[in-house]
């Protein structure tokens, strides 16, 4: 539409086009630089980790436990890999169903009720708590009373970090499902739980899976919560109870072992630490890619 | 400006201004020749008030919805049309701060009562929404959703009924080879007819249609209007619409809403040719709204 001057009105003065173009260009360049600084730092980290870590990746790395002293030539990270998988898996088993149901409550049932508002606020606060404090908390409730470190205490600490992430992600994803879909389901005479399970979850399926995976990725690289809980161990985890078991004593894990070995004076151990760092990066990247692939496959809905 | 139909009430409003002052009612004198009082009522609304939190949206609504007739609900945006029909199946109960007082009587029972079984109420009163909202499942499962919910059916009877509902919704020929494809893969107009099939498959008595054509193109709109005319022999239809030609084309009775009040209610022919109230006349001739 062309502008039509109102009778008697002063002619409109145009704003400088050159100036607008200059501002546009400046912002474009600045955001471009910002993006590239981020990407460059990331690329540098990945490059360094790959360059130094790949040397550690041999068969022993994935099959041998951590070396107990410098004199033993062989040694890998296998016990730490197993430990991290078990600790993280149990944490996920605790936190994902609980967090998921919590998120469902927030999005579908509690909404803006008093309880939901309180839960949401607490979840936001807990997400901001430094992970070392979560570690100390798990130490206080599980390690101190039982008088020993354990892999389970590590799982609980990680679960505590995952829980609010999972709940809030689930809530956000369910909120993306349009209300018309809920209304349509209810208008068919289906009870609320059936609409939630049969219609809303289906519509949000990809997002929910992504949320769960990202919650796992979020804790996969945590070190601080394990410092006071799972600690570390040069041995394989042996069974459930007893001094070397999951519930009974310190359990080897990737992040704490990387922390210990990277600070050691022995170049051989430092190389192993780089190898562990590479493994974590590859695992996190792998899970992210997996989620993306899943999303693409899920496009049919 | 091209008059494309988009999902934006302001556009349909703009189209109203070019409507000729007197609308033709396709089927001559529809609703005018019958004895309104003698017709059986499906739903009787009395003293209906509605509140969004503290804000009142409906004021003392009174209307008789007659069986096997199409009742159109017209009025400017925000006048309470949708709010009004959303009381019939109590769908507003999804939201905590919304409440209705008064009477919406069906078969002698006030459905606003807390004793009403909402699942059964919604089996008897189906609803079509403005935006086509197929469930994230196959075409077949969409139509079978209500059937499975309310009836015990064998596999062959289920598929017979799904086919029947799709046929009665004039979409069978377009989807008969796509029954196991996702419902969202259909076009907008097809999705809306799928939603109609889904609603009628459960054998309701009443169909509430909340601007069913405002998000779809003119050809699909024509199909749905045709469908409404055939469906009324089996169902009581309440149609909320922004499009006054549509109200004139398909309805027997028309209610004109303004600011939460029912300003005028009567046979469609009368509302469009000889409205009793000045506000109605001004609205249908496009002078406001």
Residue-wise pLDDT for A34-53, tens only, equals 999 999 999 999 999 999 99
pLDDT mean across residues, chain B: 86
Q: Report, as an integer, the average pLDDT of B188-195.
A: 92
Q: Mean pLDDT over all residues of chain A? A: 89
Q: What pLDDT, in 10s, does the model give residues B21-35?
A: 444 454 544 666 778
- For A201, the token pair is 């979850």
Q: What is the mean pLDDT of residues A7-35?
A: 90
Low-confidence winner among A72-81, A89-98, A261-270 (lowest mean pLDDT): A72-81
CA distance B194 to B196: 5
Question: B262-280: per-residue pLDDT in tens?
Answer: 999 999 989 998 899 999 9
Q: Which residue has the higher pLDDT, B121 or A231?
A: B121
pLDDT given for residue A3 in this prediction: 54
Residue B1 predicted with pLDDT over 90: no
A300–chain B nearest CA distance, Å: 7
Q: Minimal CA–CA distance to B129: which of B72, B183, B194? A: B194
**Inter-chain Cβ pairs, chain A and chain B, closer than 8 A:** 74
Q: What is the DSSP string of chain B?
A: ------S-HHHHHHHHTTS-SSPPPSSTTTTTSS-GGGSPEEEEEEEEEEEETTEEEEEEEEEEEETT-EEEEE-STTSSHHHHHTTTTTGGGGSTTEEEEEEEEETTEETTSTT--HHHHHHHEEEE-SS----SSBHHHHHHHHHHHH----HHHHHHHHHHHHHHTT-HHHHTT-TTSBGGGS-HHHHHHHHHHHHHHT--SEEEEESTTTTS-HHHHHHHHHHHHHHTTTSEEEEE-S-HHHHHHH-SEEEEEETTEEEEEEEHHHHHHS-SSHHHHHHHTTS--
- A189 CB neighbours in chain B (<8 A) are 118-123, 146, 149-150, 202
Residue A287: DSSP 8-state: H
Contact residues on chain B for A191, CB-CB shorter than 8 A? 119
Across B230-256, average pLDDT: 92
pLDDT at B16 over 60: no
Whole-number Å distance between alpha carbons of B252 and B243: 15
The model's pLDDT over A56-66, given as tens digits with 9 standing for 90+, comes to 898 888 988 88
Contact B251, B229 (CB under 8 A): no
What tokens were used for A233? 């161990």
Q: With contacts defined as CB-CB under 8 Å, which chain A residues touch B150?
A: 189
- Residue A186 contacts B where some CB pair is shorter than 8 Å: yes
Structure tokens of B241?
């619409």
User: Model confidence over B65-121: pLDDT tens digits?
Assistant: 999 999 999 999 889 999 999 999 999 999 888 999 999 999 999 999 999 999 999
Nearest to B129 among A183, A203, A300 (CB): A183
Query: Where does the pLDDT of residue A301 fall: very low under 50, low under 70, confident under 90, or very high at 90 and above?
Result: very low
Instruction: Tell me what pLDDT residue B13 has.
Output: 43
Whose tokens are 């600490």? That residue is A157
Q: Are B85 and B210 in contact (CB under 8 A)?
A: yes
Identify the band that residue B144 occupies on the pLDDT scale cut at 50, 70 and 90.
very high
pLDDT score, position B32: 65
- Residue range A118-174, pLDDT digits in tens: 999 999 999 999 999 999 999 999 989 988 888 899 999 999 999 999 999 999 999
Q: Specify whether the CB–CB gap between A293 and A95 falls below 8 A.
A: no
Treating both helix axes as pointing N-terminal to C-terminal, what angle do B188-201 and B155-168 enclose, rounded to 10 degrees?
130
CB contacts of A179 in chain B (<8 Å) are: 94
Exposure string over B43-72, b if 16+ CB within 10 A, otherwise e = bbbeebbbeeeeeebbeebebbbbebbbbb
- Nearest chain A Cα distance for residue B44, angstroms: 20
At residue B7, does pLDDT exceed 70?
no
Can you give the pLDDT at residue A174?
A: 94
- Distance separating alpha carbons of residues B116 and B286, to the nearest angstrom: 41
CB atoms A185 and B137 under 8 Å: no
Phi-psi sector, A155: left (phi>0), alpha (psi -120 to 50), beta: alpha
Contact B202 A182 (CB under 8 A): no
Say what percent of chain B tops pLDDT 90. 64
A218 contact B CB<8A = no
Alpha-helical (H) ranges within chain A are 17-53, 59-63, 78-104, 114-128, 131-138, 144-146, 151-175, 179-187, 192-195, 201-220, 224-227, 254-262, 267-297
Mean pLDDT for the stretch of residues A237-257? 84
Q: Do B150 and A189 touch (CB under 8 A)?
A: yes
Residue B28's pLDDT is 44
pLDDT greater at residue B246 or residue A10: B246
When mean pLDDT is compared across A203-212, B139-148, B249-258, the lowest value belongs to: A203-212
- Across the range B228-254, mean pLDDT stands at 92
Query: Global pTM?
Result: 0.80
Tell me whether residues A301 and B184 touch, CB distance under 8 A: yes
Of residues A108, A225, A218, the one with CA closest to residue A163: A218
> What residues form DSSP beta bridges with B128?
B209
Range B185-201 average pLDDT: 92
Local confidence band at A268 (pLDDT 50, 70, 90 cut-offs): confident
Q: What is the mean pLDDT of residues A206-221?
A: 88
Place of tokens 């022919």: B269
8 Å CB contact of A189 and B96: no
């Amino acid at each position: 539409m062309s502008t039509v001057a109102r009778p008697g009105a002063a002619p409109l003065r145009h704003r400088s086009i050159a100036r607008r173009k200059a501002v546009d260009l400046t912002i474009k360049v600045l955001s471009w630089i910002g993006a590239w600084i981020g990407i460059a730092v990331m690329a540098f980290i990945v490059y360094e980790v790959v360059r130094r870590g790949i040397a550690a990746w041999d068969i022993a790395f994935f099959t041998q436990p951590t070396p107990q002293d410098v004199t033993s030539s062989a040694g890998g990270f296998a016990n730490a890999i197993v430990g991290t998988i078990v600790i993280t898996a149990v944490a996920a088993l605790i936190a994902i169903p609980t967090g998921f149901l919590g998120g469902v409550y927030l999005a579908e049932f509690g909404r803006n009720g008093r309880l939901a508002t309180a839960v949401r606020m607490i979840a936001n606060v807990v997400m901001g708590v430094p992970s070392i404090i979560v570690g100390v908390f798990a130490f206080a409730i599980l390690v101190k009373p039982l008088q020993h470190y354990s892999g389970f205490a590590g799982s609980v600490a990680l679960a505590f970090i995952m829980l609010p992430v999972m709940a809030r992600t689930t809530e956000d994803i369910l909120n993306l499902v349009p209300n018309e879909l809920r209304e349509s389901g209810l208008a068919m005479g289906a009870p609320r739980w059936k609409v939630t399970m049969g219609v809303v979850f289906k519509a949000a399926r990809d997002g929910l899976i992504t949320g769960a995976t990202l919650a796992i990725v979020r804790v996969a690289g945590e070190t601080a919560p394990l410092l006071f809980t799972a600690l570390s161990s040069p041995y394989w985890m042996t069974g459930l109870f007893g001094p070397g078991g999951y519930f009974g004593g310190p359990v080897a894990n990737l992040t704490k072992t990387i922390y210990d070995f990277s600070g050691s004076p022995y170049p051989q151990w430092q190389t192993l630490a780089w190898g562990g760092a590479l493994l974590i990066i590859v695992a996190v990247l792998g899970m992210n890619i997996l989620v993306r692939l899943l999303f693409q496959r899920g496009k049919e809905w | 400006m091209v008059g494309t139909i988009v999902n934006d009430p302001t556009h349909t409003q703009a189209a109203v201004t070019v409507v000729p002052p007197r609308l033709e009612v396709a089927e001559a004198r529809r609703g005018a020749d019958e004895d309104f009082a003698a017709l059986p009522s499906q739903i009787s609304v009395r003293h209906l008030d509605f509140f969004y939190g503290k804000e009142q949206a409906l004021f003392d609504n009174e209307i008789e919805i007659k069986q096997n007739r199409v009742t159109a609900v017209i009025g400017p945006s925000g006048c309470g049309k949708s709010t009004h029909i959303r009381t019939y199946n109590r769908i507003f109960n999804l939201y905590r701060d919304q409440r209705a007082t008064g009477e919406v009587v069906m078969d002698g029972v006030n459905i606003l009562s807390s004793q009403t079984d909402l699942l059964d109420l919604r089996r008897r009163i189906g609803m079509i929404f403005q935006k086509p909202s197929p469930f994230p499942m196959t075409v077949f499962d969409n139509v079978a959703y209500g059937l499975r919910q309310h009836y015990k059916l064998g596999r062959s009877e289920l598929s017979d009924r799904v086919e029947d509902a799709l046929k009665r919704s004039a979409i069978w020929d377009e989807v008969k080879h796509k029954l196991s494809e996702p419902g969202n893969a259909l076009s907008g107009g097809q999705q809306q007819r799928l939603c109609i099939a889904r609603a009628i498959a459960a054998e309701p008595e009443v169909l509430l249609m909340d601007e069913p054509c405002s998000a779809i193109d003119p050809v699909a709109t024509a199909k749905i209007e045709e469908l409404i005319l055939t469906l009324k022999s089996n169902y009581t239809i309440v149609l909320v619409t922004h499009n006054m030609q549509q109200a004139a084309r398909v309805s027997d009775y028309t209610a004109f809403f303004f600011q939460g009040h029912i300003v005028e209610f009567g046979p469609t022919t009368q509302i469009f040719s000889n409205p009793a109230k000045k506000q109605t006349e001004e609205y249908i001739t496009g002078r406001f709204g």
